[in-house]
Amino acid sequence: MAKASSPAAEIEVDDKVVRVSNPDRVYFPDHGWTKLDLVDYYLAVGDGIVNALYERPCMLHRFPKGLAGDKVHQKRVPNGAPPWLETVRVTFPRYNRTADELCVTELAAVIWAVQMSTVEFHPWNSRRADVETPDEWRIDLDPGPDCDFATVRRVARVAEEVLDEIGATGFPKTSGGSGMHIYVRIKPEHGFKDVRRAALAFAREVERRSPEDVTTAWWRKDRDPAQLFVDYNQNARDHTIAAAYSVRGFGDGRVSTPIRWDEVDDVDPHDFTIETVPPRYAELGDLHAGIDAAVFDLAPLLDWADRDERVGAEPPVDPED
């Protein structure tokens, strides 16, 4: 990976130039990888990260002093951003506030965010054309503290089975942490509450098929720590998870990485880092490139949600209530 000895680096990104200060600052202490190494990583997966973030409000997880320092969750683009940088205004009714969040439409915006010490990109599951109507259903396989990754793999296969049965195409990826995510493109016809209801109905079906491995209990006190929680509430408004190709805030430089379904049984999330993902990307390209062409209608899952609620199942917890 590139190294720099000067106080700043001028990075050409298409028709833009982004000045990267402190390029030698070590961000990933396990390997000594620097801020400039992080820039090089995002340049190497440029089409993929732009596709994952495209026109979505995006929260930034910043590490101004590298991973050894504090993490900053930043929603608002700061004053002084370049005039070409695009944003989208979102509202937070609970707090009676608004925020102009980063809205990525080109790779230069990603590199600008890295210059601002961003490591992780956490986009909404809706786009700026209609922020209140999601076009992405996110299945978050979140293992408990005593749940091993073999369980995550097994549950991913159960989720794949259910997706196949309802005619939905799932696009899996490692979370970059201890779990796995599966994304499904959906018609932007429903609000967050209905998408969350559909996600819970799907999660309950996975739980029915794998009751020893899976829980949908919302409260942690009600979960077996050896089970995996299918976190339907990641589809709630303003809930975000790391994008495909987003680096995560761990010292080993792990990346939330798209995988093929035939890789699920053997995948190890620690294998995907800012060093190993670029050559993989050069060979395989963006494994989520076809997601916009695989749109699913949530109607069957909303029918399942109605059925569950008729027989007395609890409705999904609303984090805004």
CATH number, domain with residue 153? 3.90.920.10
Instruction: Let me know whether 115 and 192 are in one domain.
Output: no
pLDDT of residue 310: 84
pLDDT less than 50: residues of the chain: 1-5, 321
Instruction: Let me know whether 20 and 109 are in one domain.
Output: yes
Residue 25 vs residues 22, 70, 124, 249, 284: alpha-carbon distances, Å: 6, 15, 30, 15, 31
Residue that has been written with the tokens 């942490």 in this structure: 177
Tell me the three state secondary structure of residue 273: strand
Instruction: Report residue 258 as tokens.
Output: 């798209």
Comparing C-alpha atoms, which of 245, 239, 242, 255 is closest to residue 289? Answer: 245
Comparing C-alpha atoms, which of 15, 185, 2 is closest to residue 106? Answer: 15
List pLDDT tens digits, range 31-55.
999 999 999 999 999 999 999 999 9
pLDDT of residue 6: 53
Asked if residue 170 is part of any domain, the answer here is yes
pLDDT of residue 3: 42
Instruction: Let me know whether 155 and 183 are in one domain.
Output: yes
Asked if residue 288 is part of any domain, the answer here is no
Comparing C-alpha atoms, which of 198, 154, 156 is closest to residue 174? Answer: 156
pLDDT of residue 1: 44
pLDDT of residue 5: 42
pLDDT of residue 197: 95
List pLDDT tens digits, range 199-246.
999 999 999 999 999 999 989 999 999 999 999 999 999 999 999 999
CB 186 within 8 A of CB 296: yes
pLDDT of residue 311: 82
pLDDT of residue 4: 39
Instruction: Report residue 41 as tokens.
Output: 């990583």
Instruction: Report residue 307 as tokens.
Output: 């059925």
**Domain of 190, in residue numbers:** 136-239+293-310
Comparing C-alpha atoms, which of 25, 4, 29, 33 is closest to residue 276? Answer: 33
Instruction: Let me know whether 201 and 102 are in one domain.
Output: no
pLDDT of residue 319: 54
CB 153 within 8 A of CB 267: yes
Residue that has been written with the tokens 């749109």 in this structure: 295
Domain final position from 123, 151, 184: 123
Asked if residue 268 is part of any domain, the answer here is no
35 forms beta bridges with: none
d(CA 211, CA 220): 17
Asked if residue 254 is part of any domain, the answer here is no
Give pTM, 2 decimals: 0.94
Instruction: Let me know whether 164 and 306 are in one domain.
Output: yes
74 forms beta bridges with: 60
Instruction: Let me know whether 119 and 156 are in one domain.
Output: no
Instruction: Let me know whether 152 and 73 are in one domain.
Output: no
Asked if residue 252 is part of any domain, the answer here is no
- Report the number of distinct structural domains present in the chain: 2
Asked if residue 302 is part of any domain, the answer here is yes
Domain final position from 77, 96, 123: 123
Q: DSSP per residue over 278-313, as a string?
A: HHHHHHH--TTTTGGG-EE--HHHHHHHHHHHHTTP
Give the side-chain half-sphere CA count within 13 A for 223.
22
Instruction: Let me know whether 191 and 301 are in one domain.
Output: yes
d(CA 308, CA 39): 47
8-13 and 228-230 strand pairing: unpaired
